[in-house]
Amino acid sequence: MSDPLLRLRNISKNYRETQAVHPLDLDVERGDFVALLGPSGCGKTTLLRMIGGFLPPSTGTIEIGGQDVTALGPEKRNTNMVFQGYGLFPHMTVAQNIGYGPKIAGRDPEQIDLDVVRMLNLVHLGAVADRLPAALSGGQQQRVALARALVMRPSILLLDEPLAALDLKLRKAMQDELKSLHRAIGGTFIFVTHDQGEAIDLANRIVVMEAGRIVQQGTPEDVYRRPASRFVASFIGDANMLSAVRKGGEVEIGSGRLPSPGPDGPVLVVIRPDDIALAGDGPLTLAGTVTESRFMGPYLRLVVTLADGTAVTVHRPSGAEGAAPPPMGSTATLGLPAAACSVVAP
């Protein structure tokens, strides 16, 4: 790996008895769009606030661009944050909000005006430059917060649940806007979210957190296709988890065996509903009865109940090959591609 832009080493945070973040390491490369993903209380916001300088870590060091910034407050770090409640200055116009940082930094007033106009155009707010934040919609306020942070040309832009306050439709639009912004300015973005769909859609790297620890990190495809634990598998997307037993480096599942190095004992085989073939003829098959069949729009959701009572969910494209869905009560042989199976601890 080359020199990472952000390097966390042994970072932790504890409040009296509670350990919000256990000691962890994290590297973020220049140009990354990273999602810190996890349920509420997993320590993701605490981690973001430590990166931004709002919370001093209990242990460890934070380096940005090779410089140790652990002891520096947010006003001295080249990071900028978009806060969950936006934190816009209610007594300043949109343009004054955006110009606040450059003004504090003592930039040349003419240059500030130019920068503000440039940012207003970037986030499509030119028409409301002279309005107060209270007169803006949620989506517009969000964009002001973005512009206000971006005008500082941060080496890392931090976003705390940036889209949580927006309704679904606006959220989709802002996701697209964030992505194109990231492409346009080529910066490094780190955002916190509890929405796995948002993380998969926006990020090129997902860091999954659980109870103050990083439990997996990788590309969206990595964490989706190859979840490292039961938690990751259930938190991201739909997953079937089949109980099995590992013996001598192999897991016995249905009709076949799956090579899986590791200690003997009970395990879970994780497979996504869209990876299962309905008419299986491979080495790994499971036989069961179709007990549920629902039309979900783009796909059909089938539930196949195995002999031992395990319910397996299968998705198949609803427009596929004109084949009618198997009728309820019919038997089905499910094919599990070995490459799509992950074996995790139960």
Contacts with another protein, residue ranges (CB under 8 A): 52, 54, 73-75, 79-81, 83-91, 100-101, 104-105, 145, 148-149, 152
Q: What's the min distance (Å) between Cβ of 197 and another protein?
A: 25
Cβ distance to another protein smaller for residue 149 or 332: 149
Distance CA 346, CA 289 (A): 25
Q: Which two tokens stand for residue 301?
A: 């959701």
Which residue, 138 or 237, has its beta carbon nearer to another protein?
Answer: 138
- Could you tell me where the DSSP H helices lie in 123-229? 138-150, 168-185, 196-202, 220-225
Smallest distance from another protein to CB 72, Å: 12
In whole angstroms, give the CA distance from residue 179 to residue 116.
Answer: 21
> 34 vs 147, which CB is nearer to another protein?
147
Nearer residue to another protein within complex by CB, 81 or 206:
81
Rounded least distance, CB 83 to another protein, Å? 4
Kindly state the smallest distance separating residue 6's Cβ from another protein, in Å: 16
CB closer to another protein out of 144 and 223:
144
If you write DSSP's letter for every residue of 28-78 in order, what string do you get? Answer: E-TT-EEEEE--TTSSHHHHHHHHHTSS--SEEEEEETTEE-TT--GGGSS
Residue with tokens 């346009």: 184
Query: Phi/psi at 242 (nearest 5 deg)?
Result: -110, 125
Give 200-239 as a DSSP string. HHH-SEEEEEETTEEEEEE-HHHHHHS-SSHHHHHHSS--
From the CB of 169, what's the least distance to another protein, in Å? 25
